[in-house]
Amino acid sequence: MSDKTPVIKVRDLVVGFGTQTVLDHLDMDVRPSEILGVVGASGAGKSVLLRTIIGLIPRRQGSIEVLGKDLEKVDEGERRALERRWGVLFQQGALFSSLTVKQNIQFPMRENLEISQRLMNEMAYAKLEMVGLSPRDGDKFPSELSGGMTKRVALARALALDPEIVFLDEPTSGLDPISAGDFDELIRTLQQTLGITVFMVTHDLESLYTACDRIAVLADGKLAAEGPISAMLESEHPWVKTYFQGKRGSSLADRELVQ
């Protein structure tokens, strides 16, 4: 795959529920090995876009190509193969509550690879350490974890099969600023070591500044703006302007400039 071809190519996408249209003829590209942050007002359809791309929500119109394949046009086997090449971190973590942390991480391995229990254990511990947890946490159950740990375990599970794309749905929501900052850094580091593409839905301005290469702004069912943070600061779109140059946005921007 050349560096020019986008990993995710969304064209003319229309998604709606009942009489309401959430995404209205949306076009979007995600480039290889970048961290793309998707922002927008609450209810603008960020999570809907993510869930549509991974095939959880049916679309009314348009095409979505992930790694060069359209999910709706491939057969069952190819679809599973494609799904193996991405990992998803859901907003609440979505860990299986009846499995331990270790078993949660091993679940995708057990289902998709025929590897020995020893290697599975070693890989689960390796992934745990990669996301900054200790092997001792492996035998805990999800209900015993704090919010930040849940997100880290969920990330470890999303990375279990070494995917090429990772979808993150509000990875830092519900975390304190320090944990959120650590998590941003973790995503950045993992992205660099593993060379993955990250599609991140977020509300967190801090994440946009520290972690994202490019930002896409969703408004009125379309992409209102797209580009690096500097482009966002210059944008004339009213929502983008309020968001990035409002009280919270501009103080962050000043701080970035000082640094």
Partner 1 sequence: MSEALLSQKLVGDRLELTARGFWTAPHAAELEAEVNRIAGGSSGAKPTKATDVAIDMAGVRELDTFGAWLLERLTRQWTNVGRDAVVTGLPQHGADLVEEMHGVNREVPPRPEHKNPIVSFFAAVGRGTTGFAGSFHTFAQMLGETGIAAARVLFRPSEYRLTSTVHQFDRVALQAVPIILLITFLIGAIVAQQGIFHFRKFGAELYAVDLVGILVLREIGVLIVAIMVAGRSGSSYTAELGSMKMREELDALRTMGFDPVEVLVLPRIIVLIIAMPALTFLGCMSALYGGGLVAWLYGGMSPDIYIARLTDAISLTHFQVGMIKAPFMGLVIGLVACAEGLRVKGSAESLGIQTTKSVVESIFLVIVLDGLFAIFFASIGM
The site for partner 1 (CB under 8 A) is made up of: 97-98, 109, 112-116, 119, 121-123, 125-127, 129-130, 134-136, 138-139, 141-144, 159, 161-162, 192-195
What sign has the CA pseudo-torsion 139, 143, 144, 146?
A: positive
Could you tell me the smallest distance in angstroms from the CB atom of residue 83 to partner 1? 14
Task: Round to whole Å and give the CA distance between 208 and 204.
Answer: 7
Could you tell me the smallest distance in angstroms from the CB atom of residue 51 to partner 1? 21
- Between residues 74 and 115, which has the closer beta carbon with respect to partner 1? 115
Could you tell me the smallest distance in angstroms from the CB atom of residue 162 to partner 1? 4
- Between residues 59 and 127, which has the closer beta carbon with respect to partner 1? 127
Q: Concatenated DSSP letters for 26-49?
A: EEEEE-TT-EEEEEESTTSSHHHH
Task: Round to whole Å and give the CA distance between 237 and 117.
Answer: 54
Length of the chain: 259
Contact 133, 173 (CB under 8 A): no
- Between residues 10 and 149, which has the closer beta carbon with respect to partner 1? 149
Q: Which amino acid is at 66?
A: V
Q: Other C-beta atoms within 10 Å of 45: how many?
A: 24
Could you tell me the smallest distance in angstroms from the CB atom of residue 219 to partner 1? 31
- Between residues 117 and 230, which has the closer beta carbon with respect to partner 1? 117
Could you tell me the smallest distance in angstroms from the CB atom of residue 214 to partner 1? 20
Q: What is the 8-class DSSP label of residue 197?
A: E
Could you tell me the smallest distance in angstroms from the CB atom of residue 48 to partner 1? 23
Task: Round to whole Å and give the CA distance between 223 and 175.
Answer: 27
- Between residues 59 and 152, which has the closer beta carbon with respect to partner 1? 152
- Between residues 70 and 139, which has the closer beta carbon with respect to partner 1? 139
Q: Is 68 left (phi over 0), alpha (psi -120 to 50) or beta?
A: left
